């Protein structure tokens, strides 16, 4: 995810390569990042706090304490904005790790890789409007951004964080249905992917409610209503709702 964000920041020209510093412990990865993107690299996390406006914290949640223990926070002058994409890591833990720093908890999702992600941000106690403006600019480079209270972040995780896997599963099922109906796999995949992409784009651009779009496609006694009836019989909508709720609960468990 960190590399995806990096590529989009550069592609959008929000930052130039020489203004970005990436801290990476593995030498081969440092060389790759420097050669591929032209960014500055280091293996010293302390350097990321010196003279910077924002730090993207993208480490495994279980090593957060270890990473912070290696930093000298008291000597940092102007405190940069800490943007954390650590899954299940609440603001109170982040603010304890970075006392007096402005901290924003961030939940992006995988479509950020191609610039059509959905990112939710929750602001900590030290965050000012200028910090939120900066967060919107940074994550606006990878898609859309919404501000939520932290109490909603687990719900965001269950919906937009886990949602791409649910959508991928539906696309796979659509493709399998096409194959079961006699279509070649490649054509079935293409039809399924473009159908989902086109439907989402149509809804976004027209503002149509999902129910309205469904009604537009569903003619009396036709093929679509027959298929919808089967989905209802099999509990399709209930299964999706429960999947989001289950992912929500799991996010809550991980944050404890």
Q: What is the pLDDT of residues 193-234, one digit of tens each?
A: 999 999 999 999 999 999 999 999 999 999 999 999 999 999
Final residue of a domain: which of 109, 125, 153? 153
Cβ contact 115:142 at 8 Å: yes
Report the predicted TM-score, pTM, of the whole model to 2 decimal places: 0.88
117-123 vs 103-107, strand pairing mode? antiparallel
| pLDDT of 76 higher than 90 | no
Which range marks the domain in which residue 24 is found? 2-153
CA distance 14 to 11: 8
Structurally, how many domains does the chain consist of? 2
- Measuring CA to CA, which residue among 72, 170, 70, 233 is closest to residue 178? 170
Per-residue pLDDT, 55: 95
Per-residue pLDDT, 88: 82
Please enumerate in sequence order all residues whose Cβ is within 8 A of that of 69, keeping only pairs 6 or more positions apart, or say none: none
103-107 vs 54-57, strand pairing mode? unpaired
The CATH number for 169's domain is: 1.10.3730.10
Final residue of a domain: which of 97, 128, 153? 153
Per-residue pLDDT, 211: 95
Task: Please check whether residues 172 and 209 belong to one and the same domain.
Answer: yes
Task: Please check whether residues 62 and 135 belong to one and the same domain.
Answer: yes
Q: What is the pLDDT of residues 7-40, one digit of tens each?
A: 999 999 999 999 999 999 999 999 999 999 999 9
Q: Predicted confidence band at 111 (pLDDT cuts at 50, 70, 90)?
A: very high
Mean pLDDT within 146-154: 95
Q: What is the mean pLDDT of the chain?
A: 94
The CATH number for 143's domain is: 3.40.50.720
Q: What is the pLDDT of residues 233-254, one digit of tens each?
A: 999 999 999 999 999 999 888 7
Per-residue pLDDT, 229: 97
CA distance 33 to 39: 7
| pLDDT of 112 higher than 80 | yes
In a domain, 138, yes or no: yes
Task: Please check whether residues 144 and 169 belong to one and the same domain.
Answer: no
């Amino acid at each position: 995810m960190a590399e995806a964000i990096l590529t989009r920041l550069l592609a959008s020209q929000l930052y130039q390569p020489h203004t970005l510093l990436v801290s990476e412990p593995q030498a081969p990865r440092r060389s790759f990042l420097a050669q591929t993107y032209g960014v500055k690299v280091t293996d010293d996390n302390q350097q990321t706090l010196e003279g910077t406006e924002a730090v993207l914290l993208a480490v495994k949640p279980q090593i957060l304490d270890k990473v912070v223990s290696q930093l000298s926070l008291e000597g940092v002058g102007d405190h940069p904005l800490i943007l954390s994409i650590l899954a299940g890591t609440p603001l109170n833990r982040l603010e304890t790790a970075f006392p007096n720093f402005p901290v924003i908890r961030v939940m992006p999702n995988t479509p950020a890789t191609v610039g059509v992600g959905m990112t939710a941000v929750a602001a900590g106690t030290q965050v000012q409007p200028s910090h939120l403006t900066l967060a919107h600019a940074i994550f606006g480079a990878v898609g859309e951004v919404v501000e939520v209270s932290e109490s909603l972040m687990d719900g965001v995780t269950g919906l937009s964080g886990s949602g791409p896997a649910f959508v991928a599963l539906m696309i796979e099922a659509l493709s399998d249905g096409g194959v079961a109906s006699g279509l070649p796999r490649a054509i079935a995949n293409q039809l399924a992917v473009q159908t989902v992409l086109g439907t989402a784009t149509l809804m976004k651009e027209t503002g149509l409610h999902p129910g309205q779009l469904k009604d537009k496609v569903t003619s009396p006694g036709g093929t679509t209503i027959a298929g919808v009836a089967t989905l209802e019989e099999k509990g399709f909508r209930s299964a999706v709702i429960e999947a989001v709720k289950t992912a929500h609960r799991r996010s809550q468990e991980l944050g404890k």
